[in-house]
Amino acid sequence: MVNKQLDKAVKAFMKGDEAAFDYIYEHTRVPVYYTILSILKDESLAEDVMQDTYIKMIEQLPKYKPQSQFTAWIKTIARNLALNVYHKRAKEMSVDAHDSEYLFDQVFSRSEDQYFLKELLDTLAQDEKEIVFRHVVMEEKHKDIAKRLDMPLGTVLWKYRKALKYLKKKGGVSHEETT
């Protein structure tokens, strides 16, 4: 019964019903969270990866086949993202700070970076700019941004994804660089 309801919510969300995201989130968040937590063993990091999971879910939704088990499908996304983070953290821990000096020989000035970022952000709509700024610069979680801006979580995730796509096209910024 829940699978049929999830499939209905997925179809509605794909047709633009942002409220359907709330149903999807509420019925999948617990298994998604524990899938991630079982890999990362870090509650704070698991919450971050959980947000990324729902962003990735939105991006990959056109590939989802409604007869499949939606919860299993989204847990696979969560597992893959958690494993990526796990492996990335393992690599980061193995690189010493002194070693990184010769690995990255091009250094950009902080003022150049700030100017470039400001120019890019100024091209976004005000709400998109605030969402990106709060998540990337202030390191707020999407659910906290949604509460602060009095928007549904699905809308915040959607606008964030849309803004990242635009920024990537406009200035060569990738999702990994902004999270």
Each residue's pLDDT tens digit, 9-60? 999 999 999 899 999 999 999 999 999 999 898 898 999 999 999 999 999 9
Domain count, the chain: 2
Q: Where are the beta strands (DSSP E) in 14-133?
A: none
Shared-domain flag, residues 122 and 68: no
| Domain annotation covers residue 103 | no
Look up tokens 């939105």; give the residue: 58
Buried b (16+ CB within 10 A) or exposed e, 17-39: eeebbebbbebbeeebbebbbeb
Question: What's the CATH number where 16 sits?
Answer: 1.10.1740.10
Shared-domain flag, residues 113 and 138: yes
- Residues spanned by the domain of 155: 108-178
Q: What DSSP element (H or E) covers 147?
A: helix 142-149
Using one digit for the tens of pLDDT, what is the confidence trace for 140-159? 889 889 998 889 988 899 88
Shared-domain flag, residues 168 and 90: no
Which of 87, 68, 88, 95 has the alpha carbon at shortest distance from 11?
A: 68
